[in-house]
Structure formats: structure tokens, C-alpha cells
Structure 1
Amino acid sequence: MLIPTDMNMITEQALLTLAQWLSPAYPVGAFSYSHGLEWAIEAGQVQDADSFRDWLGDILRFGTGRNDAILLACAYRADPAALRDIDETARAFAASKERLLETNAQGAAFCRTTTAIWGDDLPDLTYPVAVGHAARRNNIPLRQTGAMYLHAFASNLTSAAIRLVPLGQTEGQSIVTALAPLCETLARDTETLELDDLGGSVFLADIAAMKHETQYTRLFRS
């Protein structure tokens, strides 16, 4: 199977498919997860646009963003026989019960919908592994897939921040725009990395996800 890797090789059909998969309208339930942000706001770690931009940027560079991009790339390049090991590693790297729920539930929903529409017969996989595998099967370039996956991740958490901080709509979109080049860079830098390159150092964000499990009042599932 021919697998395009140059972003300029993407077809209009592939681009629209990728946009559909990562749209807020695609029924994976991303809107119901805050990735620990809800607790971070209650604890005063995130208070305004600047602190949210720093918080989200660190998660992209040093936490789930980078790790998901690596997992997506590994799934994209993997033979079907190796896919299960990558998926098990993705589950093992979830730092809390709710982080595991987040990647499992979104991944399962993505696989069900994509199988129903495109007939890919995807097994239940964690979210980045599912997206990477589906992109490979549909000949969608890896780098573009990784960049748009990260951009969708950032956009979803920005939507949560707009409701929770609160941020204005314009402030929120300015943050997404400011972090878009980082999404491109991470997609490029991770496309050849392996599972051994996984790691993270955003410990406060991981603790926030753990604390959220017992948060008294909450709007989000994570």
C-alpha cells in the first residue's frame, strides 16, 4: 500500500476526511473531558489567558500532546500484528483513572463511528492509536494527521477553558492560533520516534487529573 508522508501530497478528499474525524461534530465525546484542567482552575493553577496558554503549551510539549503524537506515529507505521502492543503501551502511559477513561472512551467511539462509515473494521483502540491506524488505512499523510490531531486536542481544552476560567472567545482562539506552530513542530519531530521515546514531565497536570477524580463539584469527566 502506498503511504504518502509529504504533507503536500494530501488529497482534498483525505484532507476533508481528516477534518471530519477531528471535528467537534465527530461523536467521540471530546467536549466532556478537561484533562484535569477543571481541577487546575479550582486550585488556582490556571487563572487567566496567560496561565492557561502556559499550562496547555507544557502539556503539548512535555506531556500528553507529545506522547499522543508518538503513539499515533507508531500506530501509523505499525504492522497490524504490532498494533496491540502499541495500544497496551498507550493504556499503561495513562497517568490516572480518568486519563485512561479519556483515551479509552474516545478511542472506542472513534473506532465504532469510523468502522460504520468507512468500513475499516477497527478494533477498540486508545484514541491516538486509533487515529494513527485509521489514517494509515486511508492513505492520509502522517505529519498532517499528527498536526491536526494535536490542534484538535488543543482546541478542545481551549473550549473547556473558555467555559471554566472563564476566557473570552477571542482570547481562546488567540491561544489556539499561538500554539498552532507548536502542533506542526511536534508532528514533524515525532513522526519517526519509537515507543522508547515516550515520557513526560508535567507532574502538576498529572496530579490535577488524579485530584479531579474526587473533585466535589465538576462539569467534566476528567
Structure 2
Amino acid sequence: MIAVPSPPKASPGASLLAFQQWLSPAFPTGGFAYSQGMEGPMAARELRDAAGVGDYLADILRFGSGRVDATLLCHAALGDSDADALADLALALAPTAERLREIREIGAAITALTNALNGTAHPPRPHAVALGVAARGLDLPGAQLAAMFLQAQATTLVSAATRFIPLGQTEAQLALARLAPLILDLADEAARTPLEAIGSATFRADLASAAHETLDVRIFRT
């Protein structure tokens, strides 16, 4: 019997482009419609300039959803990890009803799109876990996946602030650029963090997300 060779893995460059495409604002997941509760502090004028937005986002990345999701992504990208258990953990760690809906809806969109692109049939899972599972065939280091993911998350929230406050384009990009060293550090850490060490402590952001559920006028879904 003649052995049929397995299909070659994508080159590192092609893998990077694929993952970047999945994180792009042009990828139709609806991620631009979510603010992770940041709309509340912006509406209350607690966040009114680039410095305030930068500090707020640094805390979310360092102590909140950024750290949690990047760690889940890194674990989900490992071929021998239990994706369903990671999905359950991601749902359990969602601090509010709106954050739960956000990670479910974006995750379902990402799963459907990457299944169509890659010829896979993964079930829908929360955002970070869905991305990690889809990235298993890319053979990219966890820290690299996490850095790109965190950059995309920060970009989405800076974009929300640019539209709502509003921030000038230059101010917004400077705020984003200043987060780069933190993003790289957190990405490296996420790739080494065991699941038992996962957790968050962003009470202001979590309370803002909970309050957003009853906000009278809302531009963002969360």
C-alpha cells in the first residue's frame, strides 16, 4: 500500500496572516459593537482623554479579561488540551451577564467563520477558546498568539473610545502604542500560566459592565 502523505503545514508567514485575518476588524464577528462595559465610564465622563483610557485599558489587560482570555487562548491552542473544559471555565469566569453574552456571540461567529475557511466542524465555544482551537493547525507559539490577541482586544477598545469620547486619531494611536510593552509581557506570561493560577481583579470594570445592562441609552451591546 502506498502511504498518502499528510498535507504540509502552513508556513509561519501564512499562519501569521491567517491569525491576523481572524483578529481583523474586517472579520465579521461584530466585535466592534462591544465595549466590555467601558461605555458607562465614558458616558459618565470618568474616561475623557487618552491618558485615562490608556490607564483603564492597562488595568483590564493586566488584571482582567486580557490576562484571563490570553491564558485561555494559549491553553486552547495546545492540541492535547480539553477544549470543552476550557470553554466551561471561560463561561464560569465571565463576571457579568453582558460579558458572558459577548464571549459567546463573538466565539460563535469566529467558530462558524474559521470552520468555513479551514474545513473544520468545531462546535461554538467562547471567544478566546474558539480562537485557540482554530489556531491549533497554525503551529504558532502561544506567546505570539497571545500578543496578537491582546493587541486586537486593546485596538477594539481604543476604537470604541475614539468614537465615543471622542479621542483624536493621533491621541488614540499613542495610547495604543504605549500599551505595547505591557502586551508583550502579558503574552509571554500567558503562555506560561497554569490554569489553576487564572483569575482577575478588575472591580471597576466589572461593576461598569453590570451597570451597563440597565443603562438608559446604549450605543454598544456591552
TM beyond 0.5: yes
- Separation (CA, whole Å) in 2 of partners of 1:91 and 1:23: 24
SS in 1 for 2:125: coil
Q: Which residue of 2 aligns with 1:67?
A: 68
Moved more, 28-37 or 135-144: 135-144
What is the CA-CA distance between 1:30 and the residue it aligns to? Answer: 0.5
Displacement over 6 Å in runs of 4+: none
Code of the residue aligned with 1:150 in structure 2: it is L
- Separation (CA, whole Å) in 2 of partners of 1:191 and 1:140: 12
Q: Which residue of 1 aligns with 2:188?
A: 188
Code of the residue aligned with 1:121 in structure 2: it is A
Q: Is the 8 A contact 1:108 1:126 kept in 2?
A: yes
- Matched residues, number: 214
Q: Which residue of 1 aligns with 2:47?
A: 46
Percent identical among aligned pairs is 43
Cα-to-partner distance string for 1:116-173 (whole Å, 9 max, x where unaligned): 1111222101010011111113323322111000000000000000011110011111
Q: Which residue of 2 aligns with 1:120?
A: 120
Distance 1:161 1:211, change over 3 A: same
RMSD: 1.6
- Separation (CA, whole Å) in 2 of partners of 1:44 and 1:106: 28
Q: Which residue of 1 aligns with 2:221?
A: 221
1:13 lines up with 2:14 in the alignment: yes
Code of the residue aligned with 2:57 in structure 1: it is L
Q: Return 5+ residue gaps in structure 2 as ranges.
A: 1-5
- Separation (CA, whole Å) in 1 of partners of 2:47 and 2:79: 38
Structural mapping, 1:116-195, within 5 Å: 116-195=116-195
1:31 lines up with 2:32 in the alignment: yes
SS in 2 for 1:19: helix
TM-score by length of 2: 0.92
Q: Is the 8 A contact 1:49 1:167 kept in 2?
A: yes
Q: Which residue of 2 aligns with 1:88?
A: 88
- Separation (CA, whole Å) in 1 of partners of 2:84 and 2:130: 11
Q: Which residue of 2 aligns with 1:7?
A: none
Q: Is the 8 A contact 2:74 2:145 kept in 1?
A: no
Q: Is the 8 A contact 1:136 1:142 kept in 2?
A: no
TM-score by length of 1: 0.92
Q: Is the 8 A contact 1:34 1:157 kept in 2?
A: yes
- Separation (CA, whole Å) in 2 of partners of 1:70 and 1:117: 25
Q: Which residue of 1 aligns with 2:3?
A: none
Code of the residue aligned with 2:28 in structure 1: it is P
Q: Is the 8 A contact 2:79 2:136 kept in 1?
A: no
Code of the residue aligned with 1:188 in structure 2: it is D
- Separation (CA, whole Å) in 1 of partners of 2:154 and 2:83: 26
- Separation (CA, whole Å) in 2 of partners of 1:83 and 1:40: 34
What is the CA-CA distance between 1:211 and the residue it aligns to? Answer: 0.4
SS in 2 for 1:77: coil
Q: Is the 8 A contact 2:67 2:190 kept in 1?
A: yes
- Separation (CA, whole Å) in 1 of partners of 2:171 and 2:122: 38
What is the CA-CA distance between 1:78 and the residue it aligns to? Answer: 5.2
Code of the residue aligned with 1:203 in structure 2: it is F
- Separation (CA, whole Å) in 1 of partners of 2:127 and 2:78: 16
